[in-house]
Amino acid sequence: MTRPTTLADFRYDPDSDDDFIDTKFVAIEIARLLSEGDTQSVADFLVSQEIADVAAWLEELDTAPAMQAMRLLPLHDQAEVIGYLRPASQMIVAAQMGRRELARVMSAMSHDERADLFKQLDADAQEALLPSLSQAEREDLRRLAAFEEGTVGAVMTSDYATLRPEMTTSEALEALRAQAVDAETIYTAYIVDAGRALIGVLSLRDLLIARPRQKVVEIMDGEPIYVRAEAEQEEAARLIARYDLIALPVCDADDRLVGIVTADDAMDVAEEEVTEDIYKGSTLGPIETSVKDATIVMLYKARIYWLVLLVFGNIFSGAGIAAFEETIAAHLALLFFLPLLIASGGNAGTQSATLMVRALATGDVRPMDFGRLLGREVLIALALGLTMAAAVAVIGVWRGGPEIAVVVSLAMVVIVLMGALIGMSLPFIFARLDRDPAAASGPLVTSLADVLGVVMYFSIARVVLEI
């Protein structure tokens, strides 16, 4: 792509590998034009671009020009831009706005994003903001903000379209037309009774192809898939993915419809869960913000706990080596193979753990499947160990002779088998204890495999070499 020289020349290229460079270029140009007082050129450019891209450019600007640029957008676009900003940037924007300006922008935001921003504000800011909102907005905020983080209620929105079962299809279309401005989606409408209990769902497609005077109750799906507001948010993401839904209705304990979770929100939840599992798999603690915005203290706290714990765990590896000093002194060639064997056990264990953690997370396997999978894992691990033993046996003969080759080959089979079984078993153990299986992978598996691998290796060496 030819590098633009002005904002007027800029065109987004989806095939470009220079997204970062393009973002920096646009941000620099916006700052330059604002400093020169050419706000009209900036406004004309921003309103012609995708909101997600505008948010990315504003993230690159200093606070003052970012606020100046954002205020050039229509109110609804400002509200959308804030929804795309990182939480830390949202707080900066909120702090720069007066109470009334923030209230106007929040009124234009979608209900779930408005609640997310509201929950980030401190208690004093929340109390100062509430009087500037309408009664309906205040009640909606309090209701959505009351749900515990990590639950479906915390990610749902109250922007949804509802219909009554006695409506005709013509009346239903008129009702959807009236609700379309505020609804998150109208492609699926939810049928509720007088008490707002969910009794069915109806797609816009089915509504359009139905006869004009046909009743909604006759064409709706009377057994809708739904989720409880108190359920974990991963459950909503799982149901949306499994049944290929545009949105999932959320009900309270009395089956009243209280919100929906849309597919894009489910994608965000899935991304959060994958990120959390990756962190846990590497024995990292939770990081509440992005890595870019995280402080040194925050990153230190996220990493230090398990590192210190694993240091003490690895002391046992040293103790295992010390216990076999005489065997090692008599056959120094054994030390050459120690890192190779220990790493092989850790690698095999990490592979098994990764497979099981992911399978448990996706529902591909369940804790009750452990016994059936155990026998298969033994066979696979033995095959892997024998193959790796054959590969290392030649080096064993070269470095220490036939006896060392026998020791190394036997140890390879045993250590790989042991590592694989540890890696497979720990996720199931954690699941049985109602702990996240993701915490049972990576360094934890490797550390256990290291300690047991040292003991196994030198125990085999002592038996074989002293015969």
Among 235, 231, 205, CA closest to 220: 205
Q: Which helix (H) or strand (E) holds 271?
A: helix 263-281
Q: Where are the domains of the chain?
A: 7-149, 162-281, 296-465
List the structure tokens of 202: 């109806």
- Concatenated DSSP letters of 369-438: GHHHHHHHHHHHHHHHHHHHHHHHHHHHHHHH-HHHHHHHHHHHHHHHHHHHHHHHHHHHHHHHTTS-GG
The rounded distance, in Å, linking the Cα atoms of 261 and 152 is 8
In CATH, the number for domain 7-149 is: 1.25.60.10
Please report, in tens digits, the pLDDT of each residue of the chain (467 residues total).
Answer: 455 556 766 666 655 555 555 778 888 889 999 999 989 989 989 998 889 889 989 988 999 999 999 999 999 999 999 988 988 888 999 999 988 899 999 988 888 888 888 888 888 888 888 888 888 888 888 888 888 888 998 889 888 999 999 999 999 999 999 988 878 888 999 999 988 999 999 999 999 999 888 999 999 998 999 999 999 898 998 899 889 999 999 999 888 999 999 888 888 888 777 777 666 666 666 666 666 667 778 777 777 777 777 777 677 777 777 887 788 787 888 888 888 888 898 889 888 888 888 888 777 888 888 888 898 999 999 999 999 999 888 888 887 788 888 989 999 999 999 999 998 998 888 888 877 777 666 777 888 888 888 889 888 888 888 74
Domain 296-465 has CATH 1.10.357.20: yes
- Which residues are bridge partners to 200 per DSSP? 191
CATH superfamily of 162-281: CBS-domain (3.10.580.10)
For residue 189, list its beta bridge partners. Answer: 202
Helix axes of 51-60 and 75-84: crossing angle, nearest 10 degrees: 70
Q: Answer for the pair 395, 322: CB distance below 8 angstroms, yes or no.
A: no
Tell me if 422 sits within 8 A of 448, measured CB to CB: yes
CA dihedral in degrees (406, 408, 414, 419; nearest 10)? -170
A 10 A CB-CB count for 170 gives: 14
